[in-house]
Structure formats: structure tokens, C-alpha cells
Amino acid sequence: MARDPDPDDRPDALPDVERDRVERFLAAFNTIDRLLRERTKIHDHGVPFRTVLRRYARDHRAQKMADRLDDYAELRNLLVHETLVPNGWLAVPSADVVRRIEGYRDALDGGRRADDAFKRRVATVAPATPMRDALAQAHATGFSQFPVVDGDAVVGLLTDRGIARWLAARAAAGDAAAVGDALERATVADVVQADTDRTTWALAARDEPAERVLARFVDAPELEAVLITQHGKADQGLLGIATHLDVVRFWDVG
């Protein structure tokens, strides 16, 4: 005759710490579901979560997050539909999984401000800086975007793409020696002035939600950097910078 199971072996005897992880996971998942539907304006709950997720990933360049949440949708279904007994689950999310999904929830919920998400040292150049010096600075730092600051105000953005376009235009107008001569004489202002037909930079206030900052890169494909200042004004001093790379980094919660 089989013995009665030990009460401590029953699924409903899960330790409180595991039950807490399940509850936190489900709460975070449900919040993410709501936030994604708000962002995509898909309010029909007959539309599957994965359809909403794919729409958001397409519109916000958040494929890495979408891939992770697609996996978590499987775990959510297991927790909701495949319980053994009340509070007894076939699987329990690890502490790392709970941390990750709560990180996505916080990112979507505007929990991270621009000054927190994009705070970093910003290297600048002046309009009168010779291009040979600016190129040396780019080589030394590895940076590809340099805000152009005149006095206390940001007046432009020097980028590797802008430099390439300027050089291409010089090459189209003359021989290789002419390109070298032009580069030797050019200042940062010369290169930036040649790129004024494109909107390559914008300003954001330090308390703007990070997700909203990144949405600008989707709305304006030519944008190369969003510069963070106190209130989004050009003369308030730079607190950080967001670039296309941050669109990917933002959704990498570890």
C-alpha cells in the first residue's frame, strides 16, 4: 500500500519565497500586457498577447525585449493554466527571471528617466575647432557623435556620418589632393553647416521618460542623438546623450 504523501512534499506547500516569485512574475506580466496594449492602442483583449508584442517590437525597435517576453508568455500560461492544485505550480520562475520581467515592466512604465538611462560623459567640440583636431578626438575616445557647443549653448552635432557625407561631397568636386586640402583647412562649423538640411539631433529634459526619448529615433529616422539637459534647453549644460545604440541597450535588462 502506498504511503500518504508527506505534507511538505505537496505542491501547495511551496515555500513562501517561491509563491512570492510566482505572484510577482504574474503581476509584472499583467502590467506589461496592459502597457503594451496602451502603447499599440490594441484594446481588444481577444487579440493575443503575442500579436500585441510583435506590433510593439516593430514600432519601437524592441525585438530583443519581445523575444524574451515571448518566452515568458509560455511561462505565464503554464502558471495560470497548468497548476496542480491551488498554489501548486509545475514551474516556478527563478529570482533572475522575476528581476528581468520587472525590469521590462519598469522600463515600459516610464520608471527610468532620461538622466538615469543616458547619463554619461559627453565629449564636445567648438565650432572653430579644426577638423583635424576633432578627428583626433574621435580616434582617441571612440565616440561617433560630438555635440557642438558655442559658449554655453549647443548649436549642432558633429557625427561620423556627417563627416563622411562632407568628404564625399568634396571628393565629387575634385581630386584626392583637393579633399586633403579641404580637410586641412576645415573647421567643425564647416562640416556641420553642410549638414543643416538634416535634423540629426534633438534635446530632452532630464525627467522625460527614457522610453519616450528612444521613441524619437523611430519617429525621426535621420536623428542620430538626443541630448539630455535640465529642462530640454540648449543652454543648460549636457547631462547625457542617447543614440541609436541605446534603443538596443535599453531593453537589455541583464
Q: What is the pLDDT along the chain (254 residues), one digit of tens a residue?
A: 334 444 444 444 557 888 889 989 999 999 999 999 988 999 898 999 999 999 999 888 888 889 999 999 999 998 887 665 556 677 889 999 999 999 898 888 866 789 888 998 899 999 999 999 999 999 999 999 999 999 989 999 999 999 999 888 888 876 666 777 888 889 999 999 888 888 899 999 998 888 889 888 888 888 999 999 999 999 999 999 999 888 777 766 65
pLDDT at position 9, please?
46
Phi-psi group of 198: left, alpha or beta (phi > 0 → left; psi -120 to 50 → alpha; rest → beta): beta
**Alpha-carbon gap, residue 135 to 66, rounded angstroms:** 38
pLDDT at position 56, please?
92
pLDDT at position 60, please?
83
204 burial (CB, 10 Å; 0-12 / 13-18 / 19+) is buried
pLDDT at position 41, please?
93
Per-residue cell: 82: 497548468
The CATH number given to 116-249 is 3.10.580.10
Q: For residues 217 and 199, is the Cβ–Cβ distance under 8 A?
A: no
Phi-psi group of 219: left, alpha or beta (phi > 0 → left; psi -120 to 50 → alpha; rest → beta): alpha
Q: Which amino acid is at 127?
A: P
**Alpha-carbon gap, residue 145 to 127, rounded angstroms:** 14
Any idea where the domains of the chain sit in the sequence?
Answer: 7-109, 116-249
